[in-house]
Amino acid sequence: MVLPSMLLCDFGNLEREVQALEAAGARALHLDVMDGVFVPNLTYGMPIVEAVRRTTDLPLDVHLMIARPGEYIEQFIEAGASSLTIHVEAVDDPRPVLERIRQHDAVACLALNPPTPLEAIARYLPYCDMVLCMSVMPGFGSQPFEPVALEKLRTLRAQHSDLILEIDGGVNEKTIADCTRAGAQMLVAGSAIFHSNVSYKQSLAELTGLSSSAIGRAP
């Protein structure tokens, strides 16, 4: 599944953007929440998640790139999040936060940055529904892809077949097939959709086609 990252959308026409993505065939939307503390950028919070939820019934994959994410779990779920991602680097103990996400019937996801080894999340995997392997350092879009994420995906796919695997950062027409072959099932794309020279429908179709064609091929 290719998830458009709303970070690069036209927020002055948010409703129109959401409707255009839905009409283009998007099956879920990815929302990046940044606080200027955990990452060196500031984006948006609950009001934008609420606004998107009012506009669509699509699943909202909310990525919390914030310090102290445990203080905001209920608020983001009430705002309309279908899944919530927290970073292992942002909390001392992800387990209670992940458990609270699950208690609210939302998908619990744990993310790790490119320099963070898989060993840092190993003990928390039983409390995850999904793992997000960042292929760029979080904070800004349009960064180059870091292949270390592919190694992590391959290891997770081989050892934890029950987990949903997601990748975010630098996913485009050149990298998406490798991401899929490595095991990613949820592929977050920003510039490849919003900065493309073609329509949302065409860019989504091209990315989905490249991903689908890679399924079943050896990494």
Would you call 32 a catalytic residue per the annotation?
A: yes
Would you call 10 a catalytic residue per the annotation?
A: no
Helix and strand numbers (H, E) in the chain are: 8, 8
Query: What is residue 145's DSSP assignment?
Result: P
When computed from its CA atoms, the radius of gyration of the chain, rounded to whole angstroms, is: 16
Residue 133 has which token pair? Answer: 């392997």
Give the active site residue among 35, 61, 168, 178. 168
Q: Which residue, 96, 134, 98, 92, is CA-closest to 116? A: 134
**158 alpha-carbon distance from chain centroid:** 21
Give the active site residue among 32, 35, 61, 178. 32
Q: Is 110 helix (H, G, I), strand (E, B) or coil?
A: strand
Find tokens 């905001």 and name the residue: 72
The residues near 52 (Cβ < 8 Å, ≥ 6 apart) are 6, 14, 18, 29, 31, 60, 80
Looking at the annotation, which residues are catalytic? 32, 168
